[in-house]
Structure 1
Amino acid sequence: MALPSSTTWRRLARRLSPATGRTRGEFATDTALTALAVVVGAATALPGASPQIPAWWWPWDLAFGALAAAAIWWTRRFPVAVAALMILPGTVAITAGVGVLVSVSRVGLLGPIRAAVLLTAVHIVMALPYHAVAPVPGMPWIVWVVVIPLLYSLCLCIGLLGRARQQVIAGLRASAARDRERYEERLSGARRDERERIAREMHDVLAHRISLLSMHAGALEYRATSSSPPDPQELSRAARIIRESAQGAVEDLRELLGLLRSDDELSTGAPQPRLDDLPRLVEEAAAAGQRVQLDSDLRGRAIREATQRTAYRVIQEALTNARKHAPHAAVTVQLRQSRDRLTILATNPLPPGVTRWDLPPAGNGLVGLEERVRIDGGWFSTGVEDGAFLLRAELPVGAR
């Protein structure tokens, strides 16, 4: 039969070591309890302190007391086993009192509750006959019968209270961890929503600028390669519009990238577009050669800022979409304000020979626009009626 290896012995010694897994506070507590057990046991063994103990029994009593004091160091790791082992010292040795009571308290703190209650009951039953064998001087039997159960029950309750405190602390820590996780989820969601909002702004702004660039670049290319000599003024005008559109796109991109680098919300950046900026938007489109008719019927009631910004983006995307898919078509934009709704209707005829089945699927612009309108509490739809592409949006005028 092979003997255990040195590694096995080291693992066993580390497992049985009283210092393993003990914090500084626990080490200090166990040291104090051990010192208390030694002091109380020594005081009990002083000459004349316990005359009921015969002289021949004192060596055994002191041995059991030393065992109970040393066992305190293992009550944290083996609470049930130590509490069961302390039944005998608690029954026959008066000097083991502190160590036995500590083992009962620790099994209530760290052991299973049923085992703790059962072991405490066994301790009480085994300790009661001691007064009949070696009566404590000056203590009536009835007092002993009452004090011993109360003393053991008190130690058990102290352990159970400590267990409840640990459970409360663990519950608070778990709740704090859950709150932290929920906070991080909300923070992550807020960051994701903010990124999506900035992405929509980037698409709406840059798509408009780049569509102007594309239109004028195409016209300039056509005029430069046509058989007739190009008009220098027309070429200069187209180049100027391309330069201004490119410069505006760069400025818008720089502004949005600056917002991405900052911790402020999007609304804290440059002033956002409003309905008052629609004439400028129409002028830019007209300067690019797009025919736009704006029919606005806005009442005197104030429209909230979010609705104005969304309405501006809806019209901007409608013009951009028309330039991309129907570059020479006239666009009609109607704004109607009722008591609680702002209705936007943008129409442009389809190119000759194009039907609703030939239209490309909705791109990121229309999808993002629909989401923007929906988040703002409105309604959005696109479709083809009587050979024209219709974009319709309804937004709340006041607070949602």
Structure 2
Amino acid sequence: MKDDTTVPEPRAFGERRWWLPSAVVDQLDPDPSGHGRSRRTARDWIVDTCGFLVAVGIGLAAVDSLQESDLPRGLVVADLALGVLACGAVWFRRRWPLGLAVAMIPVGLVSTAAGGAALIALFTLTVHRPFRYVAWVGGLQLALVPVFYRLRPDPDLSYLGVVVFAVLLTLSVIGWGMFVRAKRQLMLSLRDRARRAEAEARLRAEQAQRLAREAIAREMHDVLAHRLTLLSVHAGALEFRPDAPREQVARAAGVIRESAHEALQDLREIIGVLRTGDADDPGGRPQPTLAALDGLVAESREAGMRITLTHEVTDAATVPASVGRTAYRIAQEALTNARKHAPGAETTVTVAGAPGEGLTVCVRNPAPPGEVPHVPGSGQGLIGLTERATLAGGTLACGPTPDGGFEVRAHLPWG
């Protein structure tokens, strides 16, 4: 199973990252240390150059009004010098948006040439910072507009007209910045949704694969435990009865050979399914259902078990495949346990039920007649059967009986 924790970037972002703002790139690939910042992208250079030219253009337009004013030459030179510095500071707007916007408030109040740089700084603040900062800085700039034009009246426009124009221009810059910020947040939210969708799809695929492999593992236990128990029981019989008749030894050897062959074949099929990752491999043998119960009992009888089968289901083919397969596995595991822990005891298998009433499977054996050879077991088989019955919507109960035997009883739904 592949373990890949890196979520691939959606194509809409990965292929055109050079055209994204550096602030968006920082959020797409955040620096784990929290100190690094992305370099300017091609889009950043174009936007910063345009912003610088806009600030310079507005500053040059203010030069004409300064030349027509009656201000002293020293103040005009100082105004232009502050405008040049403000235009140069525009290149640092991405690194310190709040600090630059705050610094532009007093500079814009005393310098006409710095008006364009102040608008660029306000726009940058609106794009890169929450609205509470924009409300304080923008509100202060709007409050100072009447003061500025009272100190620096425009020679061509009336006081009210120029104040209204400046207020509308400031509000337009703020609105444009809020639109750009909302667009970026929408783009990042779409990116997050795409990443979450890909991660959820990968987790669902991994979970489906894990569940399939767990089902295969349970199937492996059910199949191989039956075969290997035959090997263990008959090999133990040969060990404890080395003087057994030749016919009995030959029969035990034949059972061992056949069980080993079947176990290898089943193991080969299961390994093939694991390699292909498909639990429904069409190349494998069909899964057993309730109709195969007679063959299971016959095979166990050939191995030396004494079994009484009471099959009250008239047409096993009408039983749903999933219910029949579960019933078969329950009977198989119960017979395997009876063969291991009660050799020589007559085991009773009862299957009864009808549509709407459910299907009942009962496997019962009395106490073993003689000494029981030690056969290793972990007890996981009964736990697996309980889980299998629960997943099928039924119940399973097992435990010792008053006569010293053991009983496994399961009830499965049959719609």
Which bracket does the TM-score occupy, shorter chain normalised? 0.7 to 0.9
Question: Which AA in structure 2 matches 1:257?
Answer: I
Q: 1:382 aligns with which of 367, 387, 398?
A: 398
Question: Which AA in structure 2 matches 1:318?
Answer: A
* Counterpart for residue 348 of structure 1: 365
Structure 1 residues 338 and 101: CA distance shift in structure 2, 3 A: same
* Counterpart for residue 305 of structure 1: 321
Residue correspondence of structure 1 range 69-80 to structure 2 within 5 A: 69-80=87-98
Question: Which AA in structure 2 matches 1:87?
Answer: I
* Counterpart for residue 275 of structure 2: 261
Paired-residue identity, %: 39
SS at match of 1:391: strand
Q: Kindly indicate whether the alpha-carbon contact (under 8 Å) linking 1:89 and 1:96 is maintained by their aligned counterparts in 2.
A: yes
Tell me the distance in 1 between the aligned counterparts of 2:391 and 2:159.
82
Question: Which AA in structure 1 matches 2:229?
Answer: S
Deviation at 1:44, TM superposition (A): 4.1
1:116 to 2:149 alignment? no
Deviation at 1:352, TM superposition (A): 4.9
Tell me the distance in 2 between the aligned counterparts of 1:351 and 1:36.
99
Q: Kindly indicate whether the alpha-carbon contact (under 8 Å) linking 1:61 and 1:93 is maintained by their aligned counterparts in 2.
A: yes
Structure 1 residues 50 and 345: CA distance shift in structure 2, 3 A: farther
Question: Which AA in structure 2 matches 1:123?
Answer: Q
* Counterpart for residue 337 of structure 1: 353
Q: Kindly indicate whether the alpha-carbon contact (under 8 Å) linking 2:338 and 2:365 is maintained by their aligned counterparts in 1.
A: yes
Structure 1 residues 53 and 385: CA distance shift in structure 2, 3 A: farther
Deviation at 1:383, TM superposition (A): 1.8
Deviation at 1:191, TM superposition (A): 2.8
Deviation at 1:190, TM superposition (A): 2.4
Tell me the distance in 2 between the aligned counterparts of 1:113 and 1:32.
24
Q: Kindly indicate whether the alpha-carbon contact (under 8 Å) linking 1:202 and 1:256 is maintained by their aligned counterparts in 2.
A: yes
Structure 1 residues 335 and 252: CA distance shift in structure 2, 3 A: same
User: Between Structure 1 and Structure 2, how many residues are aligned?
Assistant: 371
Where structure 2 has 5 or more consecutive residues not aligned to the other structure, the ranges are 1-36
Q: 2:343 aligns with which of 300, 321, 327?
A: 327
* Counterpart for residue 249 of structure 1: 263
SS at match of 1:35: helix
Deviations 1:347-395 (A, max 9, x none): 11122599xxxxx997111101110110011110102233131110111
Deviation at 1:344, TM superposition (A): 0.4
Tell me the distance in 2 between the aligned counterparts of 1:187 and 1:320.
35
1:391 to 2:408 alignment? yes
Deviations 1:53-108 (A, max 9, x none): 64724322321221221121222221121111111332233322221101111122
Question: Which AA in structure 1 matches 2:344?
Answer: H
* Counterpart for residue 85 of structure 1: 103
SS at match of 2:114: helix
Deviation at 1:291, TM superposition (A): 1.1
Deviation at 1:326, TM superposition (A): 0.4
Q: Kindly indicate whether the alpha-carbon contact (under 8 Å) linking 2:60 and 2:113 is maintained by their aligned counterparts in 1.
A: yes
Question: Which AA in structure 2 matches 1:280?
Answer: G
Question: Which AA in structure 2 matches 1:253?
Answer: L
Deviation at 1:181, TM superposition (A): 4.2
* Counterpart for residue 6 of structure 1: none
Tell me the distance in 2 between the aligned counterparts of 1:253 and 1:99.
77
Deviation at 1:205, TM superposition (A): 0.3
Question: Which AA in structure 2 matches 1:102?
Answer: I
Deviations 1:153-203 (A, max 9, x none): 221222233333333334444444444444444333323322221111111
* Counterpart for residue 102 of structure 1: 120
Q: Kindly indicate whether the alpha-carbon contact (under 8 Å) linking 2:93 and 2:124 is maintained by their aligned counterparts in 1.
A: yes
Tell me the distance in 2 between the aligned counterparts of 1:362 and 1:261.
27
1:60 to 2:74 alignment? no
1:270 to 2:285 alignment? yes
Question: Which AA in structure 1 matches 2:400?
Answer: V
Where structure 1 has 5 or more consecutive residues not aligned to the other structure, the ranges are 1-18, 355-359
Structure 1 residues 20 and 159: CA distance shift in structure 2, 3 A: same
Residue correspondence of structure 1 range 212-223 to structure 2 within 5 A: 212-223=230-241
Tell me the distance in 1 between the aligned counterparts of 2:83 and 2:320.
83
Question: Which AA in structure 2 matches 1:336?
Answer: A
SS at match of 1:65: helix
Deviation at 1:208, TM superposition (A): 0.3
Deviation at 1:296, TM superposition (A): 0.7
Deviation at 1:24, TM superposition (A): 3.2
Deviations 1:266-316 (A, max 9, x none): 465431111121121111101110111211111448221111111110110
Q: Kindly indicate whether the alpha-carbon contact (under 8 Å) linking 2:209 and 2:277 is maintained by their aligned counterparts in 1.
A: no
SS at match of 2:113: helix
Q: Kindly indicate whether the alpha-carbon contact (under 8 Å) linking 1:128 and 1:144 is maintained by their aligned counterparts in 2.
A: no
Deviation at 1:237, TM superposition (A): 2.7
* Counterpart for residue 207 of structure 1: 225
1:315 to 2:323 alignment? no
Q: 1:236 aligns with which of 223, 244, 250?
A: 250
Tell me the distance in 2 between the aligned counterparts of 1:278 and 1:394.
16
Deviations 1:123-166 (A, max 9, x none): 22223233334433432222222221221122122223333333
Structure 1 residues 362 and 216: CA distance shift in structure 2, 3 A: closer
* Counterpart for residue 10 of structure 2: none
Tell me the distance in 1 between the aligned counterparts of 2:236 and 2:331.
23
SS at match of 1:95: coil
TM normalised by structure 2 equals: 0.81
Q: Kindly indicate whether the alpha-carbon contact (under 8 Å) linking 1:128 and 1:148 is maintained by their aligned counterparts in 2.
A: no
Tell me the distance in 2 between the aligned counterparts of 1:396 and 1:121.
72
